[in-house]
Structure 1
Amino acid sequence: MHDAIDMDADAFEALVIEELDKLPDDMVDGLDNVVFVVEDAPESGDDLFGVYEGFAITERGQYGMGELPDRIVVYRHAHLAACADIEQLRAEVHTTLVHEIAHFYGIDDAQLHELGWA
């Protein structure tokens, strides 16, 4: 076991933004009406790195103007507890972002595992 990384909310959010900026353009350019949010932990108490809240692009149908944005939430506490150093933290945040963005595109967990992304 290792000691959890100690990083305040502002520094963690800055790291998430840096990792988001490193993702390929073709992955993020298609995101429509999606916001990225950093929270400490899910209200449910579940041990999650992140979650996609919304409708995948493959399920949107008549989705249109006036819809609240979908949310991709990255949870700080789970990431910090799981990572031994900043490099591992960056890698885990990257994986979480790719995973949740994939859900936006309609790729489920089984497909992510098949692709080696989860």
Structure 2
Amino acid sequence: MQMDPEGFEALVTAELDRLPDDMVDGLENVVFVVEDRPEDGSLDLLGLYDGWALTERDRYGIGELPDRIIIYREPHLAACETADELRDEVHTTLVHEIAHFYGIDDERLHELGWA
């Protein structure tokens, strides 16, 4: 599948806007970033939560740089064949990474069907 960076970023923004308010209203000091690929250049990782989970914020200080939720464009495009499939995968990736912000680990996400 092909999509330019601007189109993909617009898709991520649209999917973020579709998430329930109670999921995103609690996000504090978090920025969403779109990058082409992970640092290792692989196509295996769709997204990454880079920061302190809410459950670990006792170590979190005032003036900290924002946590980041990174969505990788090229791995998503490689994994999807249609625009609908891409939209669904971006949605799932956003939910997955936001869950990490709330302290939900991969094992629990698998149980919930989000991993």
Task: Give TM-score scaled by structure 2 length.
Answer: 0.96
Verify: 1:61 aligned to 2:58, yes or no: yes
Query: Cα RMSD over matched residues?
Result: 0.8
Structure 2, unpaired ranges of 5+: none
Separation (CA, whole Å) in 1 of partners of 2:26 and 2:68: 15
* Superposed displacement of residue 44, structure 1: 1.7
Separation (CA, whole Å) in 2 of partners of 1:63 and 1:11: 35
Aligned residue-pair number? 114
Aligned residue in 2 for 1:18? 14
* Superposed displacement of residue 65, structure 1: 2.2
Separation (CA, whole Å) in 2 of partners of 1:83 and 1:113: 20
Q: 1:41 aligns with which of 37, 40, 47?
A: 37
Identical aligned pairs, as a percentage?
A: 72
Q: What secondary structure, in the 3-state scheme, does the structure 2 residue paired with 1:61 have? A: helix
Q: 2:84 aligns with which of 66, 84, 87?
A: 87
Separation (CA, whole Å) in 1 of partners of 2:65 and 2:47: 19
Q: 1:78 aligns with which of 75, 78, 102?
A: 75
Separation (CA, whole Å) in 2 of partners of 1:51 and 1:113: 16
Separation (CA, whole Å) in 1 of partners of 2:5 and 2:59: 37
Q: 1:29 aligns with which of 25, 46, 49?
A: 25
Structure 1, unpaired ranges of 5+: none
Separation (CA, whole Å) in 1 of partners of 2:75 and 2:59: 35
Q: Which moved more, 1:55-64 or 1:81-90?
A: 55-64
* Superposed displacement of residue 117, structure 1: 1.3
Q: What secondary structure, in the 3-state scheme, does the structure 1 residue paired with 2:114 have? A: coil
Separation (CA, whole Å) in 2 of partners of 1:40 and 1:87: 20
